[in-house]
């Protein structure tokens, strides 16, 4: 029964990359451009840097270009974000509001380890 999705492994890998990259990119556009929704807090230098990282790495991961490096940087940013913004309010993500940071961190870590997969610029240039 568990093998029924096995033939779709490459496609679901690509979809995970595309959707994760798109959503991460939107966090960057929210901070830097106020689109599709304005970031709810006033930005300081650290949040501008976070927005720039999210914008660039999200776009790279979404299209699958330099995916391993971009995803590794994004995973690191999310680990730092978790411990700076959430980890000081309790250990468990469900209690401190850090679930999204943890999910982004480990999704990006997966992509850093496994590469872009199909439907990517990396695959097209033989560098996946």
Is 1 among the domain residues? no
Which pTM was predicted? 0.94
Is 67 among the domain residues? yes
127 touches 70 (CB < 8 A): no
Is 89 among the domain residues? yes
Cα gap 41→113, rounded to integer Å: 33
Question: DSSP of 89-111, one letter per residue?
Answer: G-SSHHHHT-HHHHHHHHHHHHH
Cα-trace Rg, the chain: 15
Q: How many independent structural domains does the chain possess?
A: 1
Chain centroid to CA 72: 9
Is 5 among the domain residues? no
Tens-place pLDDT, residues 103-128: 999 999 999 999 999 999 999 999 86
Tens-place pLDDT, residues 84-108: 999 999 989 999 999 999 999 999 9
Domain boundaries, position 115:
13-34+41-124
Chain centroid to CA 108: 5
């Amino acid at each position: 029964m568990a093998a029924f999705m096995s033939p779709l492994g490459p496609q679901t890998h690509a979809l995970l990359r595309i959707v994760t990259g798109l959503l991460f990119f939107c966090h960057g556009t929210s901070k830097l451009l106020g689109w599709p929704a304005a970031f709810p807090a006033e930005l300081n230098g650290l949040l501008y840097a976070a927005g720039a990282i999210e914008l660039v790495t999200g776009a790279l991961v979404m299209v699958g270009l330099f995916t391993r490096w971009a995803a590794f940087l994004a995973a690191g940013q999310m680990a730092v974000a978790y411990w700076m913004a959430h980890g000081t309010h309790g250990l468990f993500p469900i209690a401190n509001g850090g679930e999204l940071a943890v999910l982004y961190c480990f999704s990006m870590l997966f992509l850093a380890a496994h590469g872009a997969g199909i439907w990517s610029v990396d695959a097209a240039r033989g560098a996946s």
